[in-house]
Structure 1
Amino acid sequence: MTGFDSGSSEKTSATDVSRLSRLAKFPVGVSVAYGNEAFSYTNSPAQQAVIKTHFSQLTAGNIMKMSYLHPAQDTYNFTQADDFLKFARDNGKTLHAHALIWHSDYQVPAFMKNYQGDKAAWLAMLKTHVQTITRHFSGKVASWDVVNEAINDGGGYRNSIFYQKTGTDYIEQAFINARAADKKADLYYNDYNIEADAAKLQTLTEMLDGFKARSVPISGVGFQMHIYMDYPSVSTISAAFKRAVDRNLKVKITELDIPINNPFSPPYQAGDIKRVLTPALALAQKKRYCEVVKAYMDTVPAKLRGGVTVWGVSDPSSWLISDLFKNAHADWPLLFDGAYQQKPALRGVADGLAGKACTNT
């Protein structure tokens, strides 16, 4: 599908980046909020300007998840998603759809939580769910996160309601059913911490090898990449990407953000909390973003680059403020500040895409 800029004519010598997506021959994306959600693009001309200028692909933060699209067993609601799709297409952007199956309690529709039936009935119900949605968007979206976060931290499979009712079969069947309804969209398995947790990555690897042996139609792996300034190492990230590359699967960075603070680090837990984004911290973040993108470019061959998406437009909109930091203090994980002004982090991504040296200057 078209909708992202090809070529690399963007100049990266100046401080400001004029059009980030022009530096890549693959989608450079961003997740956005919609409608009445906080930080919705629909209510912000400034945010829309950033989206239109710098990104070639969009992901809905919420409105294409399960409970939004399929709130009751015989009820599907595509109104918001169709309007979002129209905004993307009107502005020359492709759409990465997120997500067909996800365990999170607030996103599993009530009818599924209460569904009565044996394994075969569950798989049939999920087949209808997946195929009705993917058929509606067939030919309109570039890619799907088909299954999201089905693997446990520490390895093994998450004991979700889907796993309880079907074992691991729901994962494989979701890909088969999505492909039957949409012959062209890229189909991704998406997860967090697979770039850092060796046991989780091993479970993923075994799952992918099983898919290959059984000809399950998976296109690639989505690495969410909610990472930190100091963790994991670039070499660890590259090695994880290589697991997918070695299996001839696309690699897509789907939810990238890099907060300044790491609440799991000993300094943070001892009270060393960064409460101001100093110039030095902003430049260190620039270097980190650059190193991550450079690792992607160096490790993933061009034909397997599914794209790079940042999870949110402006710092105050980041989910990390409430979910990770519990609103205890600010942080600055993204590429634009609260006034939608460029941060050095944007330059870091641009430098990584352009193959320039990663520096904190």
Structure 2
Amino acid sequence: MTGADSGWSEKTSGADVSKLSKLAKFPVGVSLAYGNEAFSYTNSPAQQAVIKTHFSQLTAGNIMKMSYLHPAPDTYNFTQADDFLKFARDNGKTLHAHTLIWHSDYQVPAFMKNYQGDKAAWLAILKTHVQTIATHFSGKVASLDVVNEAINDGGGYRNSLFYQKTGADYIEQAVINARAVDQKADLYYNDYNIEADAAKLRTLTGMLDGFKARSVPVTGVGFQMHIYMDYPSVSTISAAFKQAVERKLKVKITELDIPVNNPFSPPYQAGDIQRELTPALALAQKKRYCEVVKAYRDTVPANLRGGVTVWGVSDPSSWLISDLFKNAHADWPLLFDGAYRQKPALRGVADGLSGKPCI
């Protein structure tokens, strides 16, 4: 907690939000760290109180990814994920599973990196992977990110290990294989920057149209929504949501955060960064959160709202600080500060969920 935090909390937070999730008929979620991870909820009663009060759905930040659940060819480890699921159930929360297949080098199991086999063999090993995990969680999770980040920025498919071995077939096969063992969970394709990158969105919609033509049972699109205060515009975001809505697919905001500093902007590149969360910045962030959530509510019909999830609980825990900004300075992308106090951003989400004016 910094001195700047106390300034904005006293001057700009306004009326407290009593229970965020009560303001929506769809899931209002949050991602969590677990166990020995930094900022784990298991070690923080204060964080647990926030989770229990404000959110109706939980996502594990890491422990349900590939290398955690399937570290060796015939080895599956569900201990941590099952404990996480128990925490959700014990507290009346649903669970969104993240993610069955992801290309990231540090999340692909070593045995897959070293696996030798033709396309058919690769599709077979991925089928076993998907179906073993989906079977374990069948009836226990509300939804799953089946494949994560398979499309390039600028369009086209990412040249991942899986694409190199199978082409794009692994994506739809993963959806088909998951549905074969879980008839009820919502199945999502999940990606970042599809709300802003027109070429990436075109690849996505082309893939979705192919799925429809071949009766691939995908339920919806997960828009990660790692966005910024000034980019992309609300109209651009809404137009992207509409692409899924027009295809009668659910829309789920899966990883929302809005940092005050945009590391890709010219001012940031020139060294002009915000080093204090002033009252004015806190209110601007509140308005931005409200506008994004309101755009979701206004654009996506009720039957296609998969939910809104923020990617982390408190500002210090954000991946943006630990991964992207390398702890070079503070940033404030989430809804609670380091002491788990409500920020104006929380009121912004509440107003967006309620359809109130964004001010």
Q: How high is the TM-score relative to the length of structure 1? A: 0.95
**Does 2:175 match 1:178?**
no
Instruction: State the Cα distance separating 1:195 from its structure 2 match.
Output: 0.3
Instruction: State the Cα distance separating 1:267 from its structure 2 match.
Output: 1.4
User: Aligned pair in 2 of structure 1 residues 203, 108: CA closer, same or farther (>3 Å)?
Assistant: same
Instruction: State the Cα distance separating 1:327 from its structure 2 match.
Output: 1.5
Residues 4 and 56, structure 1, Cα contact 8 Å, conserved in 2: no
Instruction: State the Cα distance separating 1:7 from its structure 2 match.
Output: 34
CA distance in 1, matches of 2:284, 2:92: 33
Partner secondary structure for residue 332 of structure 2: coil
CA distance in 2, matches of 1:183, 1:4: 49
User: Aligned pair in 2 of structure 1 residues 313, 75: CA closer, same or farther (>3 Å)?
Assistant: same
Partner secondary structure for residue 217 of structure 1: coil
Residues 4 and 94, structure 1, Cα contact 8 Å, conserved in 2: no
CA distance in 1, matches of 2:341, 2:9: 22
Instruction: State the Cα distance separating 1:263 from its structure 2 match.
Output: 1.1
The number of equivalent residue pairs is: 358
CA distance in 1, matches of 2:233, 2:88: 35
CA distance in 2, matches of 1:13, 1:168: 47
Aligned residues with identical type, % of pairs: 91
CA distance in 1, matches of 2:5, 2:309: 15
Instruction: State the Cα distance separating 1:10 from its structure 2 match.
Output: 22
CA distance in 1, matches of 2:212, 2:347: 38
1:91-119 Cα distance to aligned partner (Å, 9 max, x none): 00000000000000000000000111100
Residues 145 and 188, structure 2, Cα contact 8 Å, conserved in 1: yes
Residues 190 and 222, structure 1, Cα contact 8 Å, conserved in 2: yes
Residues 12 and 279, structure 2, Cα contact 8 Å, conserved in 1: no
Partner secondary structure for residue 115 of structure 1: coil
Residues 5 and 56, structure 1, Cα contact 8 Å, conserved in 2: no
Comparing both chains, which one has the higher relative contact order based on Cα–Cα distances under 8 Å and sequence gaps of 6 or more?
2
1:59-101 Cα distance to aligned partner (Å, 9 max, x none): 0000000000000000000000000000000000000000000
The gaps in structure 2 that reach 5 residues or longer are none
Residues 3 and 57, structure 1, Cα contact 8 Å, conserved in 2: no
Instruction: State the Cα distance separating 1:322 from its structure 2 match.
Output: 2.3
Residues 4 and 278, structure 2, Cα contact 8 Å, conserved in 1: no
CA distance in 1, matches of 2:32, 2:269: 31
User: Aligned pair in 2 of structure 1 residues 10, 353: CA closer, same or farther (>3 Å)?
Assistant: farther
Residues 5 and 337, structure 2, Cα contact 8 Å, conserved in 1: no
Residues 4 and 276, structure 2, Cα contact 8 Å, conserved in 1: no
Residues 4 and 277, structure 2, Cα contact 8 Å, conserved in 1: no
User: Aligned pair in 2 of structure 1 residues 264, 176: CA closer, same or farther (>3 Å)?
Assistant: same
Partner secondary structure for residue 240 of structure 2: helix
User: Aligned pair in 2 of structure 1 residues 178, 121: CA closer, same or farther (>3 Å)?
Assistant: same
Instruction: State the Cα distance separating 1:323 from its structure 2 match.
Output: 2.0
Residues 12 and 283, structure 2, Cα contact 8 Å, conserved in 1: no
User: Aligned pair in 2 of structure 1 residues 12, 137: CA closer, same or farther (>3 Å)?
Assistant: farther
Instruction: State the Cα distance separating 1:6 from its structure 2 match.
Output: 34
Moved more, 1-10 or 275-284: 1-10
User: Aligned pair in 2 of structure 1 residues 293, 64: CA closer, same or farther (>3 Å)?
Assistant: same
Instruction: State the Cα distance separating 1:264 from its structure 2 match.
Output: 1.1
CA distance in 2, matches of 1:262, 1:119: 41
CA distance in 1, matches of 2:175, 2:258: 30
Residues 57 and 94, structure 1, Cα contact 8 Å, conserved in 2: yes
Moved more, 323-332 or 86-95: 323-332
CA distance in 2, matches of 1:23, 1:109: 40
User: Aligned pair in 2 of structure 1 residues 8, 276: CA closer, same or farther (>3 Å)?
Assistant: closer
Residues 19 and 54, structure 2, Cα contact 8 Å, conserved in 1: yes
Residues 3 and 93, structure 1, Cα contact 8 Å, conserved in 2: no
Instruction: State the Cα distance separating 1:271 from its structure 2 match.
Output: 2.1
CA distance in 1, matches of 2:14, 2:100: 41
Instruction: State the Cα distance separating 1:130 from its structure 2 match.
Output: 0.2
The gaps in structure 1 that reach 5 residues or longer are none
User: Aligned pair in 2 of structure 1 residues 266, 4: CA closer, same or farther (>3 Å)?
Assistant: closer
Partner secondary structure for residue 29 of structure 1: strand
CA distance in 1, matches of 2:11, 2:59: 26
1:175-214 Cα distance to aligned partner (Å, 9 max, x none): 0000001000000000000000000000000000000000
Instruction: State the Cα distance separating 1:270 from its structure 2 match.
Output: 1.9
Could you list the structure 1 runs, at least 4 aligned residues long, displaced by more than 4 angstroms after superposition: 1-14
User: Aligned pair in 2 of structure 1 residues 2, 356: CA closer, same or farther (>3 Å)?
Assistant: farther
CA distance in 1, matches of 2:33, 2:283: 27
CA distance in 1, matches of 2:37, 2:184: 31
Partner secondary structure for residue 4 of structure 2: coil
Instruction: Note the aligned Cα RMSD (angstroms).
Output: 5.5
